[in-house]
Structure 1
Amino acid sequence: MDYKEIEELIKTIDNSGLTYLEIESNGTKITMRKGTSNEESTSVVQNAQIQENKIERVVTTQTHDDDKKVIDKPSVDDENIRVVTSPIVGTFYESSGPDSEAFAKVGTQVKKGQTLCIIEAMKLMNEIESEFDGEVVEVLVKNEEMVEYGQELFKIALK
């Protein structure tokens, strides 16, 4: 990469919602972070813990193939909920292919190490695995949606 390409990349990242980007090309590695002070990192962790404790009975409307469905999410003991977050920036895929069934949906029983989704980053497919045994109670991202580093993907109720 030459100086102008790096300068354009910095401007693009600065004007986007991304907070973290890592690129490696032709032996050159570039890492960019916005707002990386320790106070902000602590604040993000605290906010994630607060949000994790606020799961309650919710009625939402989702649209699939122009049909509206109402999903009633059962109340779950807040202490038993764990959140799986994205370790990288990329594109979220719920299955290994367009005709394949999703790795994990609401109600899926998962085991530690089981694949939950794939995140594509720089043409590499990264399998994201469950860190817990439990049941998926919420999928927080839609298929083929861009995700950021640290973005919540799944909520899992521990067994």
Structure 2
Amino acid sequence: MEKYLEITEKLIKSLEDSSLDVLEFKLDNFSLKIGKNSFFENNLQESVKENNKNFEAKKVINDAKVEKKEIVKEEKNIKILKAPVLGVFYSSKSPEADPFVKIGDKVKKGSTLCIIEAMKMMNEIKAPYDCRIVDCLVSNEDFVEYDAEIFKLEQL
């Protein structure tokens, strides 16, 4: 340990006498990085500038999130229908058939909205209430996870 103290003292003296700002030294399992005050002051100023940029960017993102939440609040009757199982989403009974629903359609409670195939079982997903289809959030034959958002519905 005493050996490293001597080396450290010599390195500090060498750094003070030189025009270097930083000195990094490694020997066996010992490593040391030392710098002059001017180096750390400059790095601190750069770090503060970078943090300010990051803060401004986060502020813009947070402002956008607040605006989005306000838009959602205005659409009080809009609800999200989530997938009750994981599997393949089908918008119709067969590839040639028309989709069960289209955006803008008004449907009654219990009407079939789509089919999700899970383990060779065809699960019909039905409207939980009288509603209008605002948006379909997945495409035909997409794989959907359990609890994935599949429809935006306006409750009537």
Question: Could you tell me which amino acid in structure 1 is paired with residue 141 of structure 2?
Answer: E
Counterpart of 1:130 (choices 123, 127, 132) is: 127
Residue 104 of structure 1 corresponds to which residue in structure 2? 101
User: What's the CA shift string for 1:104-157, capped at 9, x where partnerless?
Assistant: 110111111110000001111000001021110100000000000000000111
**Aligned-residue RMSD, C-alpha:** 2.3
Which residue in 2 is equivalent to 1:121? 118
Whose radius of gyration is greater, 1 or 2? Answer: 2
Q: Which has the higher helix share?
A: 2
> Hey, what's the Cα distance between the residues in 1 that align with 2:111 and 2:70?
24
Distance 1:139 1:55 in 2: 22
Amino acid at match of 1:87: P
Show structure 2 runs of 5+ residues with no match. 1-64
Q: Does the alignment pair 1:83 with 2:71?
A: no
CA drift of 1:55 comes to: 8.5
Question: Map of 1:2-17 to 2, 5 A cutoff?
Answer: none
Q: What TM-score does the superposition give when structure 2 sets the normalisation length?
A: 0.53
Aligned-pair identity in percent equals 46
- Secondary structure of the residue aligned to 2:114 is strand
In structure 1, stretches of 5+ residues that fail to align are 1-49, 57-74
What secondary structure is seen at the aligned counterpart in 1 of 2:138? coil
Q: Runs (4+) of structure 1 moved beyond 6 Å?
A: none
Contact 1:54/1:78 (CA < 8 Å) preserved in 2? no
- Give the number of the structure whose residues are more often strand, by fraction: 1
Aligned length: 90
